[in-house]
């Protein structure tokens, strides 16, 4: 079987070895948690009987604990996971920018802030292209010997998300019928 993703290796959006590939896949699955967490939060919010009580009593520990465990906190966690994974991906892609520093160092034009913003945009572009299917497949090929079956895990996330959408639709129609 030939490797259809050998062109990705030529682009150099992954560092050599399996360490960067493993980090990329871990971040990808944290990023994939966004939709299941959002859907679980919405389902929990819809099923919550106490939707009208938005008061928080700091003198009562049960009130504070109930609010911390509310479905809306799940939505906040989902957003945090999504943004954190994106910013960590930028940090992990930084060595790729360093490899191209020779090209970027020759910039003698423009304001220094413009040069820094250009570097940030290039770095952001590297982190975004690393989320693509082909780069992830190349990362999976590099970590084939891992205990975790990364390619199957991606399918399980797809199934979980579809299942949660079906549950959300069922809950919405059930509540609408009441």
Residue 145, phi then psi, degrees to nearest 5: -85, 0
pLDDT in tens, 73-111: 778 888 899 899 988 988 888 887 777 666 556 556 666
3-class secondary-structure state, position 84: helix
Q: Assess whether pLDDT exceeds 80 at residue 38.
A: yes
- Alpha-carbon span 156 to 32, nearest angstrom: 11
Picking from 60, 37, 63, the residue whose alpha carbon sits closest to that of residue 50 is 63
Domain ranges for the chain: 16-177
The tokens describing 34, both together, are 């966004």
Q: Cα–Cα–Cα angle for 48, 79, 139, nearest 5°? A: 125
């Amino acid at each position: 079987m030939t490797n259809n993703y050998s062109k990705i290796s030529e682009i150099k959006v992954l560092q050599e070895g399996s360490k960067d590939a493993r980090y990329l896949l871990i971040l990808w699955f944290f990023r994939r948690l966004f939709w299941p967490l959002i859907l679980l939060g919405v389902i929990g919010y819809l099923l919550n009987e106490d939707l009208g009580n938005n008061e928080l009593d700091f003198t009562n520990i049960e009130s504070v604990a109930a609010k911390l465990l509310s479905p809306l906190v799940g939505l906040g966690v989902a957003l945090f996971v999504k943004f954190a994974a994106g910013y960590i991906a930028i940090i992990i892609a930084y060595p790729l920018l360093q490899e191209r520093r020779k090209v970027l160092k020759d910039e003698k034009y423009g304001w220094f802030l413009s040069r820094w913003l250009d570097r940030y945009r290039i770095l952001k572009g590297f982190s975004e292209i690393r989320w693509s299917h082909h780069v992830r497949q190349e990362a999976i090929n590099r970590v084939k010997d891992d205990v975790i079956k990364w390619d199957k895990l991606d399918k399980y996330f797809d199934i979980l998300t579809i299942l949660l959408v079906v549950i959300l639709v069922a809950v919405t129609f059930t509540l609408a019928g009441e």
